[in-house]
Amino acid sequence: MSSIADNIKRIKEQTVEKLISLGRPEDDITIVAVTKTHPVAVIEEALRNGISHIGENKVQEAIHKIPFITVPYEGFHFIGHLQSNKINNLLKLKPMLIQSIDSLYIAQQLNRSLGRKNITQDILIQVNTTAETTKSGVNPENAIDMIWQIAALPCLNIKGLMTIGMLSPNPENTRPYFRKLWKLKEKIEAEKIPEVQMKYISMGMSEDYLIALEEGSNMLRLGTIIFGTRNYGGTN
Ligand SMILES: *Cc1c(COP(=O)(O)O)cnc(C)c1O
């Protein structure tokens, strides 16, 4: 079994090699280590070995871990489905980026909470490119309308898009969905929506991150490939 440090080193080497082969700058990437199910000590091990961004998908879990991390890091990312009754707890964790805004309703609720605190928040819009009903995300056809509306909310700054690929034994199957997100990004840029930036394209997980890089991703969300298989507790 390889260690977390080895895994991170290998992923970084492969990522740099891929970016160079694509003619992209080798620092044109943010790796978000997805730390769900993993305890603080494991998160700290990753932070000591080259990781500076971490992501969690459940507020309830994050509030029991994030405040207890003693190794410095650059950013905490929220990447899961956000419920309105969890917004205040999430904001206490000072997320650098909430990657998973998927409805006007949740954006409005978030905007209201931020307004009361007189702060702003960077967000990504989660797009359900694969049209799987089990997944969150706005459908691509409605994304531009939704972005116009969210862009008008004063406390939210849209910084890009996030999608989850097709979870499939063959990662190639996910390429068309990554392309779809990239096309949508170009359309949104062409709309020139005030205050909206397409700075981050968050796509690519453990199985498909090299393909995601080929399709333009500049933010990877990697869990299993860094930490090994997750144990969700209970019976195992
Ligand atoms: C769990 C999760 C990941 C990481 O998945 P791996 O396949 O373990 O790399 C990435 N993005 C989101 C939204 C997740 O929930």
Structure confidence by residue, pLDDT tens digits, 98-137: 999 999 999 999 999 999 999 999 999 999 999 888 889 9
The residue segments making up the domain with residue 195 are 4-227
Question: Is residue 223 lining ligand 1, measured as CB closer than 6 Å?
Answer: yes
Answer whether residue 84 is part of any domain. Answer: yes
Instruction: Determine which residue's CA is closest to atom 11 belonging to ligand 1.
Output: 221
Q: What share of the chain is helix, strand, coil (3-state, %, to 5)?
A: 40, 15, 40
CATH classification of the domain holding 85:
3.20.20.10
Pairwise CA distance, residues 6 & 25, whole Å: 23
Answer whether residue 106 is part of any domain. Answer: yes
pLDDT at 134: 82
Atom of ligand 1 nearest to the CA of 230: 8
* Cα–ligand 1 centroid distance for 230 (angstroms): 10
One-letter amino acid of 206 = S
Query: Using one digit for the tens of pLDDT, what is the confidence trace for 196-222?
Result: 999 999 999 999 999 999 999 999 999
Atom of ligand 1 nearest to the CA of 206: 9
* Cα–ligand 1 centroid distance for 79 (angstroms): 8
Instruction: Determine which residue's CA is closest to atom 12 belonging to ligand 1.
Output: 79
**DSSP classification of residue 138:** B
Query: Using one digit for the tens of pLDDT, what is the confidence trace for 144-189?
Result: 999 999 999 999 999 999 999 988 889 899 999 999 999 999 999 9
Atom of ligand 1 nearest to the CA of 224: 8
pTM score over 0.85: yes
Question: Is residue 165 lining ligand 1, measured as CB closer than 6 Å?
Answer: no
Longest dimension (CA), the chain: 51
Answer whether residue 220 is part of any domain. Answer: yes
Q: List strand residue ranges (DSSP E) for 141-212, in order.
A: 156-162, 200-202
Answer whether residue 235 is part of any domain. Answer: no
Residue 2 above 80 pLDDT? no
> Which of 4, 35, 51, 79 has most ligand 1 atoms within 8 Å of its beta carbon, as the pocket-test mutant?
79
Query: Using one digit for the tens of pLDDT, what is the confidence trace for 125-134?
Result: 999 999 888 8
pLDDT at 135: 84
Residue 115 in contact with residue 91, Cβ under 8 Å? no
Pairwise CA distance, residues 163 & 222, whole Å: 13
Question: Is residue 205 lining ligand 1, measured as CB closer than 6 Å?
Answer: yes
Answer whether residue 214 is part of any domain. Answer: yes
Mean pLDDT of 84-93: 98
Atom of ligand 1 nearest to the CA of 227: 8
Q: Sorting pLDDT into bands at 50, 70 and 90, what band is 233? A: low
Residue 1 above 60 pLDDT? no
Answer whether residue 236 is part of any domain. Answer: no
> Which of 205, 217, 220, 224 has most ligand 1 atoms within 8 Å of its beta carbon, as the pocket-test mutant?
205
Pairwise CA distance, residues 128 & 139, whole Å: 5
Answer whether residue 234 is part of any domain. Answer: no
How many domains does the structure of the chain reveal?
1
Answer whether residue 222 is part of any domain. Answer: yes
pLDDT at 235: 44
